[in-house]
Amino acid sequence: MSITVHDPVRRILAALFILAFLAGWSTHADAHGDKKPDKKGILLVAFGTTVPGADSAYKNIEKKAKEAFPGVEVRMAYSSKIVRHKLAAEKKLKLDSPAEALAKMMNDDFTHVAVQSLQTIPGAEFHDIMATAKAFSGMPKGMKQVEVGLALMATTEDVAKVAEALLASVPKDRKAGEAVVLVGHGTHHPADVYYAALQYHVWKKDPLVFIGTVEGAPSQEDVLAELKKSGVKKAHLMPFLAVAGDHARNDLAGDEPDSWKSVMAGAGIAVTPVLRGTGDASPLADIWIEHLKSAFERLK
């Protein structure tokens, strides 16, 4: 019996053998995970808030990130365990920690992830995100690369840009001679110096805009001394925080005698609180998006 190319049964068998071989080979490669195409993703990491509605600031930044990266999946993670547990208990909301979110992205075949910190300064929260991202970068069977986008204020240029963005987003009904007091979180971390740096850049443009902090420097006492020196009679009190959450509602605009509103009123200043997070203000949210763009560009 002779075998020729004209033998139709042989030709079909040969073709089936080749197909089976190719299918088996590619399945084999997939199982080892080394033939998968690169998949880039974005993870935004915020502290979190339990105040209803305050997360509008995070949603605004998330929306901007999606617009800046069409076709790239954008996920959110929240670094505060207290916030996550409280929302799980009270609202049945299951939010991911940064490590949980990255583990899920690893399992969903992301190879490169840009993690954007929604922190204001590179303090303790930011450095925690850096450490978590580093742990996931190049993890066996995981992501090849995880890059972290800088906090709102990282470089000197950022601080100058934030000063301009803040001045561009002061309340529209502010009249000449009225002050604006912006209160940030403040920290025991060395990055607390950013607030004083910001005050320097703000004062170059507007001597009646004051920067204070709840837990760091400049303190409430520092700002009050400056307000008295300036002789202002009216001030707009605003958070310099990503979200207008608990600190904004209580430490700033609360009715307790030691709130910023009460203390300033006690010094004879008429106070108008403006409860809006910096993440709600486009000129500021855009700076976070710029940092995300440079982190995403570093992915290769």
Catalogue the active-site residues: 185
Does the CA dihedral 272-273-276-277 come out positive or negative? positive
Q: For residues 178 and 158, what is the distance between their CA atoms, to the nearest angstrom?
A: 26
Q: For residues 54 and 280, what is the distance between their CA atoms, to the nearest angstrom?
A: 9
Please report, as a single letter, which amino acid is at residue 73: E
Inter-residue contact 41 to 72 (CB < 8 Å)? yes
| Cβ-based burial of 52 (10 A; exposed 0-12, middle 13-18, buried ≥19) | exposed
What are the DSSP E strand ranges found in 143-233?
A: 145-149, 179-184, 209-213
- Nearest C-alpha neighbor of 249 from the set 41, 49, 100, 39: 49
- Nearest C-alpha neighbor of 78 from the set 122, 125, 120: 125
Please report, as a single letter, which amino acid is at residue 199: Q
Q: For residues 226 and 218, what is the distance between their CA atoms, to the nearest angstrom?
A: 10
Q: For residues 166 and 183, what is the distance between their CA atoms, to the nearest angstrom?
A: 12
